[in-house]
Amino acid sequence: MPFDPKRSALLSMDLQAGIVSMYVKDDALIPRAKSLIDHARRAGMQVIHVKVGFRPNVPEASPRNRFLSAVKSSPRHQQFFQEESGAIHPALAPAAGDLVVTKNRIGAFAGTDLDLLLRAHDIDNLVVFGVATSGVVLSTVLTALDTDYNIFVIRDCCADLDPDLHQALLDKFFPRFATVLTASEFLKSLPNEAK
């Protein structure tokens, strides 16, 4: 696998405390993601945490957007993305040098400065994982494909409430556009320290 850590970014997406508590059923996913993030930092990769966040009263919502209009109409739903529930899971907290991108759409690119940050850091390769496979991962992979990034999806660091859709995406759909591999397979390709 041709891979230059210095021209690569690891995107940990929507791994916020509340979302993790609802979507992640595999107790090993967070420790696996932590190991991946720690190794990526040591190898010199840019680590980017993508999280969902809204302004008070969700002015980002259009009534034409089913997801956002549901969030806007429910103060309880809005609280899901605030304070401790909306914070990046404490085991995966950003470190010095990491970047944090806040989004208010499904994918990591729409309405954010993610592409600008990637281009400013001369990034060619995106290593992506997160929750949900059929949400942020799918949307981000398709936009990354359209913007000419090399894409790697870490299958055992993704989760979804629909296990059949999760498997179909990882086994049948993503391999058409990306390299799909496990965290341990990816870690074997990384040097132990930045060169």
Domain definitions of the chain by residue range: 5-188
189 vs 97, higher pLDDT:
97
How far apart are alpha carbons 16 and 107 in whole angstroms? 15
**What local confidence, expressed as pLDDT, does residue 195 receive?**
59
Average pLDDT, the chain: 93
13 vs 79, higher pLDDT:
13
**What local confidence, expressed as pLDDT, does residue 3 receive?**
75
Q: Which residues pair with 11 in a beta bridge?
A: 48, 128
Least confident of 77-86, 105-114, 120-129: 77-86
116-174 pLDDT per residue, tens: 999 999 999 999 999 999 999 999 999 999 999 999 999 999 999 999 999 999 999 99
Please state, as a whole number, how many other Cβ atoms lie within 10 Å of the Cβ of residue 65: 15
How far apart are alpha carbons 97 and 121 in whole angstroms? 12
Tell me yes or no: is domain 5-188 CATH 3.40.50.850.
yes
User: One-letter amino acid identity for 23?
Assistant: Y
**What local confidence, expressed as pLDDT, does residue 48 receive?**
98
**What local confidence, expressed as pLDDT, does residue 192 receive?**
76
**What local confidence, expressed as pLDDT, does residue 1 receive?**
57
Q: Minimal CA–CA distance to 125: which of 59, 195, 36, 45? A: 45
**What local confidence, expressed as pLDDT, does residue 132 receive?**
97
Question: Can you tell me which residue has the tokens 């970014």?
Answer: 9
Q: Minimal CA–CA distance to 160: which of 183, 135, 143? A: 135
